């Protein structure tokens, strides 16, 4: 029984492994859900399981779905307010590249927001206080 469960979730586990290894992309995405490999996907049909998650990027909520097909390759479907895109029968390297692009874009957006939020003068002042502050006695 354990082997059957692993085989059904094979696509989910393999994609999740790459999301976890892609720096900290797992911390930047929401609504992580497995796609059941026993149920036919509405876009891709039969598959070996996969993952669905959402990501708020550049003012749009984007839903990213990736499934492993029976040829051990990946099908990706991206949905946002602008439209939808499907990528069929891509290899693992291309999936890793897509996940890396998501990570880089999300990190750039976060860095831009942080840069706009911090006043350089106030930042230096607080940093100087933190550096010279005495530790409280215990």
pLDDT tens per residue, range 15-70: 888 787 756 688 788 898 888 877 887 887 787 888 899 998 888 888 998 888 87
Contact 35, 49 (CB under 8 A): yes
pLDDT digits (tens, 9 = 90+) for 64-97: 988 888 788 888 889 888 888 888 888 888 888 8
* pLDDT of amino acid 138: 43
**Phi, psi of 67, rounded to the nearest 5 degrees:** -130, 155
Which range is least confidently modeled, 31-35, 87-91, 114-118, 119-123?
Answer: 119-123
More confident residue, 131 or 106: 106
**Strands laid side by side in the 30-35 sheet:** 30-35, 50-57, 60-68, 74-80, 83-90
Q: Three-class SS of residue 31? A: strand
Q: Can you give the residue ranges of every domain in the chain? A: 2-111
Q: What is the enclosing helix (H) or strand (E) of 3?
A: helix 2-8
Highest mean predicted confidence (pLDDT) among 3-17, 29-43, 116-130: 29-43
* pLDDT of amino acid 75: 87
């Amino acid at each position: 029984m354990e082997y059957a469960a692993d085989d059904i979730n094979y696509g989910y586990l393999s994609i999740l492994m790459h999301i976890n290894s892609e720096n900290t992309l797992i911390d930047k995405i929401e609504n992580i859900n497995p796609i059941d490999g026993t149920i036919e996907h509405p876009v891709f049909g039969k598959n070996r399981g996969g993952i669905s998650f959402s990501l708020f990027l550049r003012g749009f909520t984007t839903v990213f779905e990736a499934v492993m097909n029976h040829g051990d390759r990946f099908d990706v479907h991206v949905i946002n307010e602008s439209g939808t895109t499907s990528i069929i029968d891509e290899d693992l390297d291309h999936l890793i590249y897509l996940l890396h692009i998501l990570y880089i874009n999300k990190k750039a957006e976060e860095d831009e927001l942080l840069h706009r939020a911090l006043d350089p003068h106030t930042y230096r002042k607080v940093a100087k206080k933190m550096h010279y502050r005495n530790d409280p006695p215990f």
